[in-house]
Every structure is written in C-alpha cells, then in structure tokens.
C-alpha cells in the first residue's frame, strides 16, 4: 500500500484539518507527516466538541496511536512547536527531521516589514525570510538546536520503512495550490511550491510511493492577504451568506468568492488528484448539516456534487457537513474495485 497525500485546492483554509481529523480516526494511520511551508498555516480540528488549533503538528494528532512527523522541507518555529507538543501531550510520538529549517526572531521581524507586509500581505510568521536564508545556506536546521534533540531523527527513512511494511501513511499538505510559489499568482504567493509533488519532496517520499492524492475544496473560495480572487464578493455580501471567516494565524478577515470550477479543474491537474474532498457543504445547503449519508442530501446538494465530478473527472469521496470530525459523508467505498 502507498501513501495518501492530502492537499489544498484553492488558497489554503479549505478545511484540510477537518478532513484529516476524520481520516486519522477512521483509517488509523501508523504515521501522519506534515509537509508544506511551516507555521504560517493554521488548521482547525474539532473533535468531541473540542476545538483544536494547530500550526506545527499534523492534524492527525487527535488519534493518539498515530506517530506525528514533520518533513525536512518544513520550517519549524521552536516556540510554536513546544506549545503544541505540551498542549497536545504529544512528546512521545513526535519526530521532526533533522534538516527542518528553523525560524528565528529576525525572520519574523523581516516578514513584518517592507514589501512582504505591504505588497504580499504575508502571515508575518517568518517563513519567507527563513526559506530565503535556507536557500542562501545561512539558516540553522533542527539538528543545530539542543532543545529539539529529543524529537530529531530521519523522517524520510522512517516513512519509507513504514510504507515498505505496508503501513498506512497520511501526508498532510498545507496552504493551497494557488498559493504555490510556482503555480500561484506571483508575487501573491507563499515561499515554496505547495502542490502534491512538493509536499512529497518535503517529507522524502518518491512519486511511486503514492496511491491517492486527495484535493480539498471548500464549497466556496476564500483568500487572506493580497492577490487576485475571481468573483470576489463585497464583505457585506460574504457576511450575509455566512462565508466570512477569520484567519487562524493572523486574525484577518478572509475574502470570499463562490466555488470556482475552472480553478478546481486546474488544481486537480496540477496535483494529479485522484479524489476530491469537499468541505462546508452545509454553508451552502444548511439542511445538509451533520448528515453522514449521501442519499439523505437534498437533490440540489447532490446536483452540486455531480457537477463537480463531471467537470473534474474524479469522484467526490469525502463531504464535510459540519466542523466536527464526525460530520462527514464517506463515499470511498464507491472506489473499491470488485475482486
């Protein structure tokens, strides 16, 4: 069995944390590994009525049997990591790659001034400047920090060993396809590629180790920071539709637009996605709230899903109907080929 890679299909904040939390509980992975940029991404996980916000640890943290890893391509903010490990009581199952880049105070300072703040509108978490220093080969990495020594190891080696033994591995992407340094609207992008190929490279698994790529879309599109957003709604319109959200990391209000089939199609291609996870269906069809059975959805909601499948050519297998991990329709059984 190969790994499952999960990536965002729009501009981040598609609800990856919600889908991962379900998969973590349902599929019981041996390991979950986070790729992507670093603590500029905020994931929200809701389980048993408790809301958990994460910026460093994999969202699969809610399954206490799953090992939690951070790939070599990921930047670590040691303060954010320490806080999450303590809050989640996860010290015994965290493994960070010895080559993870380190965010220092000077990186955060540089990220909060100049064009990064005024033009790009970054999260100010220091990730861009830290990646720049890494490219210049002047950054520190995890193995240089004595405080991290108890967590440091060989993530790529461990992951490939687990896959060799047929263990289930969940690879968690962060950000979203159109925030990619290469495939987004430069310069309104993050500091790395964040498509599925890049996420695999971050954690150290080759393309032939991947069985499934799940691209996550929200039922509407949001974006924080600057850059183009087709069909952007006026803030009062977004508010009226209940689509106005506040960003986890920065507290900024997210800009909103209706679902965009053309963007979704491009994201499907760029990530070679095999399945779609669709979140917040209940934000568009309130009567869907909490449903777990596809046949119980209203005909309009099923029609919306069918139009996505027809346009993208891949199945919508996971459908979020509320914030909690349990509020989800799982149609993956449809994919199982008869013996």
| Binding stretches for ligand IMP (CB under 6 A) | 11-13, 37, 40-41, 120-123, 125, 127-128, 174-175, 179, 190-191, 224-225
Q: Which residue ranges make up the site for Mg ion (CB under 5 A)? A: 13, 42, 248
Calculate the alpha carbon distances from 119 to 112, 113, 114, 115 in Å. Answer: 11, 10, 8, 5
Calculate the alpha carbon distances from 268 to 10, 117, 127, 175 in Å. Answer: 10, 30, 26, 15
Per partner kind, with CB cut-offs from 5 to 8 A, the member of Mg ion, ligand IMP, none near residue 37 is ligand IMP
Q: Which of 13, 77, 97, 202 is catalytic?
A: 13
- In angstroms, rounded to a whole number, what is the distance separating the alpha carbons of residues 159 and 175? 22
- In angstroms, rounded to a whole number, what is the distance separating the alpha carbons of residues 217 and 277? 6
Q: Which of 27, 43, 83, 202 is catalytic?
A: 43
Per partner kind, with CB cut-offs from 5 to 8 A, the member of ligand IMP, Mg ion, none near residue 122 is ligand IMP
Per partner kind, with CB cut-offs from 5 to 8 A, the member of Mg ion, ligand IMP, none near residue 282 is none
Q: Is residue 43 flagged as an active site residue?
A: yes
Look up residue 246 and give its DSSP letter: B
- Asked whether 151 and 135 are in contact (CB, 8 A), the reply is no
**189 vs 305, which CB is nearer to ligand IMP?**
189
**66 vs 127, which CB is nearer to ligand IMP?**
127
Smallest distance from ligand IMP to CB 55, Å? 9
- In angstroms, rounded to a whole number, what is the distance separating the alpha carbons of residues 118 and 107? 16
Per partner kind, with CB cut-offs from 5 to 8 A, the member of ligand IMP, Mg ion, none near residue 38 is none
Smallest distance from Mg ion to CB 187, Å? 20
- Asked whether 26 and 214 are in contact (CB, 8 A), the reply is no
Count how many Cα atoms sit within 13 Å of the Cα of residue 201 in the half-sphere of its side chain: 8
Smallest distance from ligand IMP to CB 46, Å? 18
Give the CA-trace dihedral at 87, 254, 60, 322, to 10 degrees.
110
Per partner kind, with CB cut-offs from 5 to 8 A, the member of Mg ion, ligand IMP, none near residue 175 is ligand IMP
**142 vs 249, which CB is nearer to Mg ion?**
249
Smallest distance from ligand IMP to CB 246, Å? 12
Enzyme catalytic residues: 13, 43
């Amino acid at each position: 069995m190969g790994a499952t890679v999960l990536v965002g299909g729009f501009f981040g904040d598609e609800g990856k944390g919600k889908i991962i939390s379900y998969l973590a509980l349902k599929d019981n992975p041996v390991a979950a590994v986070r790729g992507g940029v670093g603590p500029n991404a905020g994931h929200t996980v809701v389980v048993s009525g408790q809301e958990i916000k994460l910026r460093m640890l994999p969202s699969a943290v809610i399954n206490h049997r799953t090992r939690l890893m951070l790939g070599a391509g990921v930047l670590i903010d040691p303060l954010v990591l320490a806080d999450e490990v303590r809050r989640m009581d996860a010290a015994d199952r965290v493994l960070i790659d010895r080559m993870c880049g380190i965010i220092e105070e000077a990186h955060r300072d540089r990220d909060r001034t100049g064009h990064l703040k005024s033009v790009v509108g970054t999260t100010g978490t220091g990730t861009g400047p830290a990646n720049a220093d890494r490219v210049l080969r002047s950054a520190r990495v995890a193995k240089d920090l004595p405080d991290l020594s108890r967590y440091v190891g060989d993530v790529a080696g461990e992951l490939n060993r687990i896959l060799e033994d047929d263990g289930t591995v969940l690879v968690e992407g962060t950000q979203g396809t159109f925030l990619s340094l290469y495939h987004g609207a430069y310069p309104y992008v993050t500091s790395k590629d964040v498509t599925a190929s890049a996420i695999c490279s971050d954690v150290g698994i080759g393309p032939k180790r991947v069985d499934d790529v799940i691209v996550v879309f929200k039922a509407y599109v949001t974006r924080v920071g600057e850059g183009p957003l087709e069909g952007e709604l006026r803030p009062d319109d977004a508010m009226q539709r209940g689509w106005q959200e506040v960003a986890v990391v920065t507290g900024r209000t997210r800009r909103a637009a209706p679902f965009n089939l053309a963007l979704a199609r491009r994201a499907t291609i760029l990530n070679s996605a095999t399945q779609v996870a669709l979140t917040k269906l209940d934000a568009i069809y309130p009567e869907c709230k909490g449903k777990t059975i596809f046949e119980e959805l209203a005909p309009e909601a099923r029609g919306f899903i069918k139009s996505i499948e027809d346009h993208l050519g891949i199945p919508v297998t996971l459908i979020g109907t509320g914030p909690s991990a349990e509020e989800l329709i799982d149609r993956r059984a449809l994919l199982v080929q008869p013996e």
